A and B are shown apart, each in its own frame.
Chain A
Amino acid sequence: MTEKTLSVTSRPRQRVEWAYKVSSLLTLLALVAAVTGLASLGSPVLQNVLVNMLINVILVVGLYTFVGNTGVFSFGHIGFMAIGAYSTGLLRIPEQQKAALLVLPRMLERASFSSTQAVLVGGAVAALVAAFLSLPLMRLGGLTAGLGTFAVLNIINIVAANWDHFTGGSTGMAGVPTSTTITSALVWSVLAIALAWGFQQTRVCLRARASREDEPAARALGINVISDRAVAFTLSAFICGIAGGLYGQLAGSFGPSAFFLPTTFIVVAMLVVGGRFSLSGAVIGAIFLATVSEGLRRIEGGVHVGPLHIPARPGLQEVGLALALLLTLLLRPRGLTGGNEVSLLDAGKLRLGGLTGRRTRTDAG
């Protein structure tokens, strides 16, 4: 990778790489659209699963934007999802219900936003909190970063469970208008993927990736590792906040337990199973595990396989996810995609002059 980026790239090659990058974005968008199209024809239950999957795609893409580009792991991003969901709830619950459930300043109580505005504000609040938290957090690396972000998740959870006036405490919020539809979830996930992809084309992201590969070398080149990581962190919190806003408007009512360890586990599993070093990995991991998990959920409710009756088994879904994650970690630590971007150009064997293959193997553009 270093060799390639340092050498002067010729114009035709640049064009090929660009075509390759765009094609991988289009491939991912097509994949999400195709899955959505197929599942939206199914039963209402399946449609509900679909919307949840699309929200998970956004969450995993959000987590990836930080983890994949910087190589620093985070267990804290579900906290940003919580911030997005609560902020959106505050702006969307009808005034009378707000007065009955929460104790708010007059201005916030009167506030009434459209669904889209509320989701955007939710993302923005999450990004703001992340920007503030990045001051201490981005100084951490490796293991301590994992532990620090875990502490952040706990703090956000405790505040959400106790700040009764704003969050409804441990019972949570209720009465959020359920306005998240398949269409809106699809549009937001397309935007999230495009945003993450767009960020990957920026200098900030290239520098963050350089420091992921070799931090001392990146520093020696004059890269301000902390500030580049902080940008990635803030953007990723924004995306997770949006997912939270959509979730809040899907569930209608939610409490702090919706944004704690189990959700963190599912999102981490999706990212790691898909491959945490490429955007394709994030999207494919989310879709793949959502499919597996839906299959297990059906078995969980009890099924008949021919003459054999498998009784209802709560917990089976999670056991399956945990096994999938463990097997991935042990057998294929870089995930299904192995850290490469997936493109239809590959599938059709339309490799352009053999220039693109190696490039994607080493660096996911």
Chain B
Amino acid sequence: MNTHLIIEYTINGVSLGSLYALFALGIGLLFGIMRLINFAHGELMMIGAYGLCFIVSPPWPVRVAIILGLTIAFALAMERLAFRPARGADPDTLLITSFAVSFLLQNLAILFFGALPRSVAIWPFLTRSVHIGSYSIQNIDLVTVGVTVVLLFAFGLFLGRTRLGVQMRAAAENFTMARLLGVRADTVIAVAFAMSGLLAGVASIILVQQTGIIEPTIGVTPVLAAFVATILGGLGSLVGAVIGGYFLGAITVALQATLPLAFRSYRDAFVFGAVLLVLVLRPQGLLVHRSTFTRV
């Protein structure tokens, strides 16, 4: 394989990995604090995508702001109506709850907007390419990577430098202890949901710009990817979620490039097989995080 091809694959892998990292961070954030795998995260993206479809007249910064506001509002509503009452239930009950919320929102979308896919106009700027030497990189890939890096940096600053951020990390480490020390559970969890709503909003915009198609089940595939990435990276670790996202992007592209043709369509089956292996052999993921374990 020549270097040219390898560099092309690397660019693909980094772009895909950035998107997966965005998905995974939204899931990992809530898992760290609440032990909740939020299947309904994909439906937040679906809401963002429909927002993009119906709110077309304002200039793009206003549109982006409206959509982010929309996904954050839905994330907060979800927390208040479904997850706050279920707080303290065992993790598999929470898992079923999020499954139910996800199914509910998906079918509400079918009820209101119909099950048929809709197409959305893509911003023309994003489909153009930049040429560096003999390589051409699509603007959408650059934007995806750029936005992800900026968001990760901002989240890093927030979690590391602000009072609320430190409280959130404390809550992710040991929720009971953090509460005893005066961390407000409601605030921390609401902020975590708002942040996951923001991430879902950003992800939905990028996703729609890549595909140009919106349907009620648009969030299912991203959530599956996020779910895989968070497990590979280690449940409960934010850095792990991001690394897991990039790792998943890398192995997806690598399998696509190296698997024999006959096996290529089974690519995702191999990925899920890897998930099963990680769960059994190394349930703490690629990065160790203590609080995931139940001590027996």
Name 28 interchain pairs, CB-CB below 8 A, sorted by A: A73-B92, A73-B95, A140-B283, A142-B294, A143-B35, A147-B227, A147-B231, A147-B275, A147-B279, A148-B276, A152-B272, A152-B276, A158-B266, A158-B268, A162-B265, A261-B103, A265-B100, A269-B100, A314-B110, A315-B107, A318-B103, A318-B107, A319-B107, A319-B111, A325-B96, A325-B103, A326-B97, A330-B86
Counting CB contacts under 8 A, is A154 at the interface? yes
Q: In chain A between 316 and 336, which residues have their CB closer than 8 angstroms to a CB of chain B?
A: 316, 318-319, 321-323, 325-326, 329-330, 333
Since A315-B115, A330-B86 are in contact, a sample of 11 more A-B pairs with Cβ atoms closer than 8 Å, ordered by chain A residue number, is A73-B95, A140-B279, A140-B283, A145-B92, A146-B91, A148-B280, A158-B268, A269-B100, A315-B109, A329-B93, A333-B93
With A142-B294, A326-B104, A330-B85 as known contacts, state yes or no: A151 contacts B275, CB within 8 Å: yes
* Central interface residue in B89, B97, B220, B272, by most chain A CB within 10 Å: B272
Q: Does A272 reach chain B (CB closer than 8 Å)?
A: yes
Minimum CB–CB distance for A44 against chain B, Å: 26
A151, B231: Cα distance in complex, Å: 11
Known: A315-B115, A330-B85. A322 touches B107 (CB 8 A): yes
Q: Does A216 reach chain B (CB closer than 8 Å)?
A: yes
B272 & A268 in contact (Cβ 8 Å cutoff): no
Number of residues of chain A lying within 8 A (CB) of chain B: 44
Question: Is A298 located at the chain interface by the 8 A CB criterion?
Answer: no
Chain B residues lying within 8 Å of A272, measured Cβ to Cβ, are 96
Query: Taking the complex as formed, is B77 at the interface, i.e. its CB lies under 8 A from any CB of chain A?
Result: no
Docked pose: A143 CA to B6 CA in angstroms: 38
Asked if A31 is at the interface of the complex by the 8 Å CB criterion, the answer is no
In this complex, the member of A140, A152, A265, A321 whose beta carbon has the largest number of chain B beta carbons within 10 angstroms is A265
In the complex, the chain A residue whose C-beta lies closest to that of B95 is A146
- What sequence of 0s and 1s flags, for each residue 213-248 of chain B, a beta carbon within 8 Å of any chain A beta carbon? 000000010001001000100010000000000000
Give chain A residues whose Cβ lies under 8 Å from the Cβ of B97: 326, 329-330
Chain A residue nearest to B228 (CB atoms) is A151
Q: Is A136 an interface residue (CB 8 A)?
A: yes
Interface residues of B (CB under 8 A from A): 35, 37, 82, 85-86, 89-93, 95-97, 99-101, 103-104, 106-111, 114-115, 220, 224, 227, 231, 235, 265-266, 268-269, 272-273, 275-277, 279-280, 283, 294, 296
Contact of A144 with B266 in the complex, beta carbons under 8 Å: no
Contact pick for B283, options A137, A144, A314, A321, CB 8 Å: A144
* Contact flag A143-B95 (CB < 8 Å), given A155-B272, A158-B266: yes
Report the minimal beta-carbon distance from B47 to chain A, rounded to whole angstroms: 15
A162 touches B266 (CB 8 A): yes
Which residues of A approach B to under 8 Å, CB–CB?
Answer: 73, 75, 136-137, 139-148, 150-152, 154-155, 158-159, 162, 215-216, 261-262, 265, 268-269, 272, 313-316, 318-319, 321-323, 325-326, 329-330, 333
Beta-carbon nearest neighbor of B107 in chain A: A318
Q: Is the interface of B mostly helix, strand, loop or mixed?
A: helix
CA–CA, A268 to B96, complex, Å? Answer: 8
Contact assessment for A314 and B92 in the assembled complex, using a CB-CB cutoff below 8 Å:
no
Contacting residues, chain B, for A154 (C-beta < 8 A): 224, 268-269, 272
Q: Closest B-chain residue to A330, C-beta based?
A: B85
- In the assembled complex, the CB of B66 is this many whole angstroms from the nearest CB of chain A, namely 25
Which B residues touch A158, using CB under 8 A?
266, 268-269, 272
**Contact for B108 among A147, A262, A315, A321, CB less than 8 A:** A315
Chain B residues contacting A142 (CB-CB under 8 Å) are: 90-92, 294
Instruction: Point out the residues of chain A lying under 8 angstroms from B265, CB to CB.
Output: 162
Give the CA-CA distance A144 to B234 in the complex, in Å: 11
Chain B contacts of A322 at CB under 8 A? 100-101, 103-104, 107
Residues of chain B within 8 A of A313, CB atoms compared: 111
- Complex interface: chain B residues within 8 A of A150 (CB): 227
CB-based nearest B residue for A325: B100
Q: Give Cα A73–Cα B90 distance, bound, in whole angstroms.
A: 11
User: Could you say which residues of chain A place their CB within 8 Å of the CB of B111?
Assistant: 313-316, 319
A321 to chain B, nearest CB (A): 8
Chain B hits for A73, CB < 8 A: 92, 95-96
Point out the residues of chain A lying under 8 angstroms from B231, CB to CB.
Answer: 147
| Residue of chain B at shortest CB distance from A145 | B92
- A145 contacts which chain B residues (CB < 8 A)? 92
The answer on a CB contact under 8 Å between A144 and B103 is no
How many whole Å from B168's CB to the nearest CB in chain A?
21
Complex contact B279–A151 (CB within 8 A): yes
Residue B86 contacts which of A136, A143, A269, A329 (CB distance < 8 angstroms)? A329
Give Cα distance in the complex from A318 to B101, angstroms.
Answer: 11
